[in-house]
Amino acid sequence: MTIRVLIVEDSVIFQTVLKNIFNASPDIEVAGIARDGLEALALIPQLDPDVICTDFHMPKMDGLEFTKQVMLHYPRPILVISVSVQTDQRHRIFELLEAGAVDIFPKPRGSADPKSQINHLRLINKIKILAGVKVFRKRTPQASLKSDFLPNTQQQTPGKNTSEIKIIAIGTSTGGPQALQTIFASLPANFSVPIVCVQHISHGFLDGLIQWLSLTSGLPIEIALSGITPQPGKIYFPPEKKHLELNSQGQFVCSDSPPLGGHRPAVDVTFKSVARIYASNAIAVLLTGMGKDGAAGMQMIRQAGGLTIAQDRETSIIFGMPKEAIELGAVQHILPLPEITPFIIKKSTSI
C-alpha cells in the first residue's frame, strides 16, 4: 500500500529535494505540498496523508503550533525535517516532539554523492517506519507500580535483585526523547545512581536533546568523556558518532570502532560493557525504538544477575527494541512508561 506524504516546507528548494527523494520510492506518494502550517491544516482533510513532514521555522504558522493543531484535530505521524538551529535554540526543535511529533531528521541535500544517497534512503526508511506508528495519544496510563512479569517459562533467573545498584543503563531509538523526558523529569534531585543513556539520533541534534531534557530534569545531563568515572546522580550520553563503553576501572571509553548493526553509538556496546563491569549491580532499561539494538546486551546483563526492564507495547511509539529483548528472554519486567521511574527508584534504594 502506497504511503501518502504531505510536505510542509516554505523553501521551494527543499520542497523539490524532498519531492524528488520520495518520488524515487515506489512505496511513497507525495500527496501534497504546503508552504506553511496554516496552508497544511487546510489540506489535511482533503488529502488525508499517512505521514506529515514539517519544517520548524515557517511563516504564518511555525512547526510547533502546526504540530499542536494536527495532534488536536487530525492526529497522525509527524516527522520534523529541519536543520540544527543556533546553539542556544537547539532545544526548541524537541518541543515539537513534546507536542506530539514522532521523530526528527536533518534536512537532506539534493546532491547525488554516495553520502547523500545513503541519507536519502534513511529518510525513505524513516517514512516507512512512521507510517506504521499507531500510538499518538498524549494521555499516559496511571502508574500502579505493578510489574508485568513474563511467564515462568521465559524466566532464566529469579526476578528479585538484592544487589546494590551502582549503574543504570538505558537504550532507545524512535520515540526515545519523549520517553526519556518522562523518566528524567520524575527522578528526584537526590537520586544517587549514575545513568548511562544511548539514544539513536541524527547527527547534529544531540546537544539540542540534552538542552531540552535538562529543562525538566532534576539531575545534571552531560556528554561522557573517555577517562571519566560515572558520578552519582549524573546522566551521561555518548558523544555523537562514538560508542560508549566502561573499562575494568569503571571509566568511560569513547571509541570510533565500526558501527554495530548500523549504529554508532550502539546500545549493545554499552550494555555488554555494563554486564562485564557491573554484573548484578546494574539495571538495564530498553525503551521504544525500531530494530534489535540492545537486546543481546540486555541478555548479557540479565545473565550476569542484573535487573532488566522493557517498556510495554501500549506506551511505546515503536515496539521494536523492547519486543526483540522480550523474545530473546532478556527481560524480567515489562512496564508502562510512567511506571519505569518509580520502579527504578524502588529497586535502587531497597537493598
Instruction: Give yes or no: residues 92 and 121 share one domain.
Output: yes
Distance CA 285, CA 331 (A): 9
Catalytic residue, from 82, 84, 173, 280: name it: 173
Whether residue 178 is contained in a domain is answered as: yes
Burial 173-204 (b: 16+ CB within 10 A, else e): bbbbbbbbbbbbebbeeebebbbbbbbbbbee
Instruction: Give yes or no: residues 183 and 331 share one domain.
Output: yes
Instruction: Give yes or no: residues 70 and 19 share one domain.
Output: yes
Is 111 an active-site residue? no
Number of domains in the chain: 2
Secondary structure class of 245 (helix, strand, coil): strand
Whether residue 212 is contained in a domain is answered as: yes
Catalytic residue, from 91, 200, 243, 263: name it: 200
Whether residue 138 is contained in a domain is answered as: no
Residues β-bridged to residue 30: 5
Instruction: Give yes or no: residues 187 and 307 share one domain.
Output: yes
pLDDT digits (tens, 9 = 90+) for 117-154: 999 999 999 999 999 886 444 444 333 333 344 433 33
Structural domain including 14 reads: 3-131
Distance CA 79, CA 325 (A): 26
- Helices (DSSP H) in the chain: which residue ranges? 12-23, 37-47, 63-73, 95-99, 114-131, 176-186, 206-214, 267-278, 295-303, 321-327, 337-349
Instruction: Give yes or no: residues 226 and 323 share one domain.
Output: yes
Whether residue 137 is contained in a domain is answered as: no
CATH number at residue 38: 3.40.50.2300
Average pLDDT over residues 265-293: 98
- What is the pLDDT, as a whole number, of residue 162? 59
Whether residue 136 is contained in a domain is answered as: no
- Mean pLDDT, the chain, whole residue set: 90
Catalytic residue, from 36, 62, 293, 312: name it: 293
Whether residue 139 is contained in a domain is answered as: no
Is 256 an active-site residue? no
Is 200 an active-site residue? yes
User: Of residues 221 and 135, which shows the higher confidence score?
Assistant: 221
pLDDT digits (tens, 9 = 90+) for 48-70: 999 999 999 999 999 999 999 99
Decide if 30 contacts 5 (C-beta within 8 A). Answer: yes
Task: Quote the cell numbers at residue 211.
Answer: 538542552
Instruction: Give yes or no: residues 196 and 58 share one domain.
Output: no
Instruction: Give yes or no: residues 61 and 164 share one domain.
Output: no
Boundary residue ending a domain (101, 131, 161):
131
Whether residue 213 is contained in a domain is answered as: yes
Distance CA 162, CA 181 (A): 28
Q: How confident is the model at residue 85 (pLDDT cuts 50, 70, 90)?
A: low
Instruction: Give yes or no: residues 12 and 37 share one domain.
Output: yes
Whether residue 141 is contained in a domain is answered as: no
CATH number at residue 321: 3.40.50.180
